[in-house]
Amino acid sequence: MMNPILTTLRAIEQRAERAIDHELQTMMQEILALRTSLVLGERSEADSLLIKLDRLLSAHTTRADGASTQTPAASSGSLRAMECRQSPDIVYQASFFDPQFGSLEDVIAASSFDCAVQTAFSRLQEGVDCTVDASWSQGRGRLEVQTLDGIIIASVQAAPATVVAVHPSIVQACQALRDGETILSQAQFAQALLERATL
């Protein structure tokens, strides 16, 4: 016997291919209303369909924007490719080490040398006698905090900032969250997590 929920979801999916924007939004509301009462397998199907409807709606919007601004289709497509999120040229890493064995315990990134030093000092245990070795060269700072036995327990050093290629599914999920569409963003994050091998 066919699951009535899955039958409903598949019927919505078939209608969605020919739906206009208003109808797509109504379908998404129907799925969101159903979602809270679904079991795990049904919820996964609903989440996938929500994402498909959102992509169809986005595609409609993109085509409408392209028509109104006379933007070539190739240009519109390129805007939906992976977006790059770039930090400043360098960041600073505050690293923390085990005072007995010297093994790395934690690393915290900071936007400036000052912030990294503040972070390093605030994490040091009270009552530990230590020395500081600091230098500034070629516009970059470096600092090491050592015990009296010469074991480094904290350090600050510059590191090259990375350029992160963000997958469109992550961009869409984050945008939905910023727009207040919490349930939709959760579905998109869940789908992105399932697809993480391709991210």
Extents of the domains making up the chain: 4-82+166-198, 88-161
**Does residue 150 have a pLDDT over 50?**
yes
**What distance in Å separates the CA atoms of residue 38 and residue 44, rounded to the nearest whole number?**
9
DSSP-derived secondary structure letter, 17: T
Give the per-residue pLDDT at 117: 94
At residue 125, the 3 state secondary structure works out as coil
Residue range 98-148, pLDDT digits in tens: 888 778 888 888 888 999 999 999 988 887 788 999 999 888 899 999 988
- Is residue 155 a contact partner of residue 141, using CB atoms and an 8 Å limit? no
Residue range 23-80, pLDDT digits in tens: 887 887 777 777 767 777 777 788 788 778 877 877 766 555 555 444 444 333 333 3
Give the per-residue pLDDT at 75: 37
